[in-house]
Amino acid sequence: MPADYELTLSDYLSIMRRRAPYLIGIFVVALVIAIVVAFIIPPTYRAAGTIMVESQQVPDGVVPTSIRSSLDQRINVIKQRVMTRDGLLQIINKYNLFRDSASTQSTTELIEKMRNRVVVETLSSDDAHTNQQGLPTIAFTISFEDQHPDVALHVTSDLVNLFLDWNIKLRTEGAAETTQFLSDESNKLKAEVDRLEEKISAYKKHNSDNLPEQLNLRETMLARAENDLYAVDRDIRSGNEELRSLEAELSAAKHGMSDNPSQTLPALKAEYTKLSAIYTESHPDIRALKRKIDALEQGSETSESKNISDNVTSLAEFKLQAKIDAVNARLESLAQQKKMLKEKIGENEHAMELTPRVAQGLDVLIRDRDSAQRKFDELLNKKMNAQIAQNLESENKSERFTLLEPPVLPEKPYKPNRMKILAIGIFLALASSAGAVMLLESIDKRIRGVEAFTHVLGYRPLAVIPFLYTDEEVTHKERTRIRAIFSSIWPRLKLK
């Protein structure tokens, strides 16, 4: 038909009548194929078991949350342990799975096929069951598909048992390994803390005079030493003045020019009167004063007065010399004190200059010690938590897997869904028959119908003469149709 010609309803009905054998034939063939496929696919049975994760028996406030691992992560780890090559191969050999294809497929292909049939599905907390105590839990299911229901049941039971066993083993081993690791690390940090403590102690001992806590004492000692030095300087100046005075008196006494007023006659008499009121005449001091007075009264011409004067002068020189020696001794002592005080001041000043440097080094050591101590305390806390977790695992008080619904023998096949296959087959049969007719019409360039003829010529025909088939043409047409249908069905039947 012309490409720009729009088909009407009568044209569609005419096409369906004209192509009815193709429509019916292709529809029937496609439907038969769908029915054969729906009923020839072998049934597959699925057995499933549900495992519930019970919450730990100890309240949340007792056990820190840091010791709990992610449930999804734990299930994935257990799944990887269960789905190992050796484990799956052992199950395959135990139940003689894939015996029909064992000779044509490799071991790797059989194990991959086994993995594809094992399904692990987790359930959210909204869909999970709750235990008797009402605590929220999470569950997951383990299922296996096979053409034999008893095989599916046994394999699923083995997989469920493997999940339960591996959960206990992994959690116990993980808690023990964590405790051991934290114990080793805490011992290392403890040794580091002890090493730093010994280093700080040795540093303080080596710099005992320059420690920061002695700075106030050093300042006090420095101020006291400076005050003592000032007093010593003052005493030295006073001693020097006294020494110069005594040396002048000694020089005057040697030349008989004693300027000591106490050696004059009136002074001696006054001293004699004073002592006479206290002592008797036989007292040595009274007698000495009396001799001096007599000597001074008689004059220096007589030999006796000369001897007395010489004795008096010698006694005065001796006393003055003794005083000078005492002052010199005191000045030497003051000089030694001054030297010691200067050394002490220098030591204190030097120690005070070194104190900031010593304090800086000590602060570094203390900071390292405190940092190591904090890490040790944190690690010790984690170690205690790990020990609690290990005790929970050993006493089965932590999160645990409990078989909530054991696998049961499947009564109905899980797949295929034969009704769904039939519905899809009917739809495909209709679509294929309609598509075949549309393809034939698009290939056929002949003009059919009055309206199409009028559209091409521009005017309507006067009369329509139908095509008349002879008996031979009708017979040949029927045979051709039968051969076409048989040739389309025969290859599929041969494959089945």
Q: Are residues 375 and 472 in the same domain?
A: no
Tokens of 385: 């938590």
Coil, strand, or helix at residue 357? helix
Asked if 211 contacts 358 with a C-beta cutoff of 8 angstroms, the reply is yes
- Contact, 139 vs 53, CB < 8 A? yes
Question: 336 and 293, same structural domain?
Answer: yes
- At position 417, the amino acid (one-letter code) is N
Residue 456 has pLDDT above 70, yes or no: no
Q: Does one domain contain both 356 and 455?
A: no
Q: Are residues 311 and 378 in the same domain?
A: yes
Residue 341 belongs to a domain: yes
Q: Is the entire prediction scored with pTM above 0.75?
A: no
73: pLDDT strictly greater than 70: yes
Nearest C-alpha neighbor of 146 from the set 94, 98, 105: 98
> For residue 113, is pLDDT > 80?
yes
C-alpha neighbours within 13 Å on the C-beta side of residue 463: 2
Range of lowest pLDDT (64-68, 77-81, 166-170, 483-487)? 64-68
CB-based contact 145:61 (threshold 8 Å)? no
Does residue 325 lie within any of the structural domains? yes
Last residue of a domain, which of 368, 387, 406? Answer: 387
DSSP summary character for residue 32: H
Asked whether residue 350 falls in the same domain as residue 228, the answer is: yes
SS3 state of residue 415: strand
For the stretch 416-437, pLDDT in tens is 788 888 888 888 888 888 888 7
pLDDT of residue 64: 45
DSSP helix/strand/coil, 390? helix
pLDDT, tens only, 13-53: 777 777 777 788 888 888 888 888 888 888 889 999 998 88
Quote the Cα angle for 166-170-171, to 5°: 120
What three-state secondary structure class fits 227?
A: helix
Burial-class residue 24 by CB neighbours within 10 Å (0-12, 13-18, 19+): exposed
Q: CB under 8 Å to 262, separation ≥6 — which residues?
A: 268, 271
Is residue 236 situated within a structural domain? Answer: yes
pLDDT score of 158 = 92
**405, part of any domain:** no
Two tokens, residue 412? 């109905």
Q: How far apart are CA 245 and CA 283, in angstroms?
A: 32
Q: Give the C-alpha distances (Å, rounded to integers) separating 337 from 221, 230, 273.
A: 15, 11, 45
Q: Looking at the structure, do residues 354 and 446 belong to the same domain, yes or no? A: no
Among 125-139, 257-271, 386-400, the minimum mean pLDDT is found in: 125-139
Residues 326 and 270 in one domain: yes
**Count of the separate structural domains present in the chain:** 2
Whole-angstrom distance, CA of residue 53 vs CA of residue 344? 78
Would you say residue 336 lies in a domain? yes
Per-residue pLDDT at 284 exceeds 70: no
Low-confidence winner among 57-66, 319-328, 366-375, 442-451 (lowest mean pLDDT): 57-66
261 plus 371 within the same structural domain? yes
Residue 144 lies inside a defined structural domain of this protein: no
Residue 328 and residue 471 in one domain: no
Cα–Cα nearest to 315, from 263, 274, 355:
263
Closest CA to 407 of 111, 166, 161: 161
426 and 368 in a common domain = no
Domain that holds residue 431: 9-28+418-495
C-alpha–C-alpha distance, residues 4 and 449, integer Å: 15
Query: Are 375 and 439 members of one domain?
Result: no
Q: For residue 271, give both structure tokens.
A: 């001293």
Q: Please check whether residue 376 is in contact with residue 185, taking contact to mean a CB–CB distance below 8 angstroms.
A: no
472 and 377 belong to one structural domain: no
pLDDT of residue 235: 83
> Which of 246, 210, 236 minimizes the C-alpha distance to 318?
246
155 pLDDT band, cuts 50/70/90, is very high
The answer to whether position 196 is within a domain reads: no
296 pLDDT tier (thresholds 50, 70, 90): low
Query: In the chain, what is the greatest distance between 2 CA atoms, to the nearest angstrom?
Result: 209
Is residue 373 within 8 Å of residue 193, measured between CB atoms?
yes
User: Does 158 map to a domain?
Assistant: no
> Helix, strand, coil proportions of the chain in percent (round to 5)?
70, 5, 20
